Structure 1
Amino acid sequence: MLTGSRKWMRTPLIIYSSHIATTLLPILYSFAVDDFAKMKRVGPETEEERLKLIAVYAPFLVMPLLILLTVACSGSYSQTTQPAPAKSAAPKKKHLKSH
């Protein structure tokens, strides 16, 4: 992925990384500001617990963002070059006339 040798990976990586990043933003926001004392669900009770939970989830936001930046901004993934025409794997047979 880092070398850009697999150009077909660009679109799936953009879809994956943007999906994960946009999913984690509301999760991290919820950890930061929601009052879990009023909810039936168990959640962080102190500021220290909130920060620990955010620290555990933060790499799952940072890594997809780095993937997205790498794929979107890297010249290795640019689609400006035309692919070479595919060559047939089997050699062509010459037809000889028999007299």
Structure 2
Amino acid sequence: MQAGIEQALRAAGIWNNITMVSYDGYQSVVKDMMDNPNGPVQALTTNEPYRQGLAAVEMAMRAINGGSSEGTVFVETVAFGVDKAAQYYDPSKVLVDTVQ
């Protein structure tokens, strides 16, 4: 989502005139927050796809083994600002993140 918003705002010439919170959690956005602490992206939130996938696999394994799962599974959302970006930057988590 953030990549598309950035592309549109850059095309309009206003990318550096706004402040935004990104949702996708791409590592390139985290890196950009670290490299440009006064840039437009000041905070980021994500459900962490790894944790979502892990919860889905755990539910599937319970079902395969004859168990059941709760109707609702809560996967914690992570939210942080520029000041904490370095704590969440992990380039090994980059899967497909090449949109510029």
What TM-score do you get using the length of structure 1 for normalisation?
Answer: 0.30
| Larger-Rg structure | 1
Higher relative contact order (CA 8 A, sep 6+): 1
What TM-score do you get using the length of structure 2 for normalisation?
Answer: 0.30
If each structure's strand is expressed as a fraction of its own residues, which one has the higher value? 2
